[in-house]
Copies of this chain bind each other. A is one copy, B any other.
């Protein structure tokens, strides 16, 4: 099944006092991942308007190998290390794509 897309949803809560710094690190990590890794198809992060320290990220990888490779990249490891003291809750939800469509 290694040729099957891997889709995940991350539900995070961030220390509100460190939110701006966290968002900058997240943006840097997402930019680098989509630009540099062939197997990272999309990373879409949103914050909940009423609780902006609550972040949702939908992640689409070409396959399981691409996901494992992503976890070992310098930009992901930098993000992971530098944000470890900012993330107060992290839930990774395994999801299946139903249908994903966007403008070309």
Contact = CB atoms under 8 A, between A and B. Distances in A.
Oligomer: number of copies: 2
Interface string A71-104: 0000000000000000000000111111111111
Main secondary structure of the interface of A (DSSP, over half): strand
A33 B99 CA distance: 12
Interface residues of A, number: 36
A45 B7 CA distance: 11
A47 B95 contact: yes
A103 B66 CA distance: 14
Interface of A: 7, 9, 23, 26-27, 30-31, 33-34, 41-50, 52, 55-56, 58, 60, 93-104
